[in-house]
């Protein structure tokens, strides 16, 4: 079974279930942090990208605080190899799947109930005790940085304004692209 770290649309259980084509009863999830990465809005897209801070640093006019160079997301455990193939197609050619070390912020729990996991765990500080890191697959942006905006993508804003677009037609559209992503021009 495979572990993955999701930081965008796939943090929403119903969207993940729809991409995988099943209800996810075999999956366990918990909030987690990926250090030394930044999450960005993509020009002309509703979904985000992550890049190592060593690459994105030039996009900012100041050095970022530790909290700002840590991406909060969802650690998912129990994915099958077939599900990973479906995820690869969904993520498309804008990302490379790579293994990273993520820090769980809680205990793994069932994905099945379909409720979004609260990823707003305690702020990162010197006093927080982190669990041991876990190796997980994630999808890292592999296109030019010029396609990213310097402002950061927000899961809360996505839930409020755009998640409904992804629960049905957005997923069908991505699947139909068969891994070759075509974004609208803004």
Q: How confident is the model at residue 182 (pLDDT cuts 50, 70, 90)?
A: low
Q: Is residue 183 part of a domain?
A: no
Domain that holds residue 45: 2-176
**Tokens 């699947």 belong to residue:** 175
Among 10-24, 64-78, 135-149, the range of highest mean pLDDT:
135-149
Q: How confident is the model at residue 138 (pLDDT cuts 50, 70, 90)?
A: very high
Q: Is residue 116 part of a domain?
A: yes
How much is the pTM?
0.84
CATH at residue 122: 3.10.490.10
The predicted structure's pLDDT at residue 40: 96
As for how many domains the chain has, the answer is 1
Q: Is residue 182 part of a domain?
A: no
Write the secondary structure of 107-158 as one string of H (helix), E (strand) and C (coil): CCEECCCCCCCCCCCCCCCCCCCCCCCEEEEEEEECCCHHHECCCCCCHHHH
Q: Is residue 184 part of a domain?
A: no
Residue 142 has pLDDT above 90, yes or no: yes
Q: How confident is the model at residue 177 (pLDDT cuts 50, 70, 90)?
A: low
Average pLDDT of span 159-180: 68
Q: Is residue 185 part of a domain?
A: no
Q: Is residue 11 part of a domain?
A: yes
Whole-number Cα distances in Å, 92 to 60, 152, 165, 171, 175? 27, 21, 18, 12, 9
The predicted structure's pLDDT at residue 121: 47
pLDDT in tens, 98-137: 999 999 998 888 876 555 555 554 455 444 556 899 999 9
Q: Is residue 61 part of a domain?
A: yes
Nearest to 80 by CA among 135, 1, 16, 151: 1
Continuous segment of H or E residues that includes residue 96 = strand 95-104
Q: Is residue 114 part of a domain?
A: yes
The predicted structure's pLDDT at residue 179: 53
Between residues 80 and 163, which one has the greater pLDDT? 80
Average pLDDT of span 88-94: 94
**Tokens 């697959």 belong to residue:** 137
């Amino acid at each position: 079974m495979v572990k993955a770290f999701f930081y965008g649309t796939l943090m929403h259980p119903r969207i993940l279930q729809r991409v995988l084509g099943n209800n996810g009863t075999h999956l366990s999830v918990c909030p987690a942090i990926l250090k030394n990465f930044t999450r960005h809005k993509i020009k002309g897209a509703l979904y985000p990208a992550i890049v190592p801070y060593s690459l994105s640093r030039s996009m900012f006019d100041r050095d970022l605080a530790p909290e700002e160079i840590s991406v909060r997301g969802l650690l998912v455990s129990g994915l099958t190899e077939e599900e990973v193939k479906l995820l690869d197609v969904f993520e498309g050619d804008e990302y490379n799947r790579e293994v990273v070390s993520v820090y769980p912020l809680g205990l793994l729990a069932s994905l099945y109930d379909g409720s979004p996991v609260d990823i707003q765990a305690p702020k990162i500080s010197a006093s927080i005790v982190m669990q041991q890191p876990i190796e997980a697959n994630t999808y890292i942006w592999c296109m030019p940085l010029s396609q990213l905006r310097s402002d950061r993508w927000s899961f809360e804003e996505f839930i409020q304004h755009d998640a409904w677009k992804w629960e049905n037609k957005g997923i069908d559209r991505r699947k139909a692209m068969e891994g070759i992503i075509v974004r609208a021009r803004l």
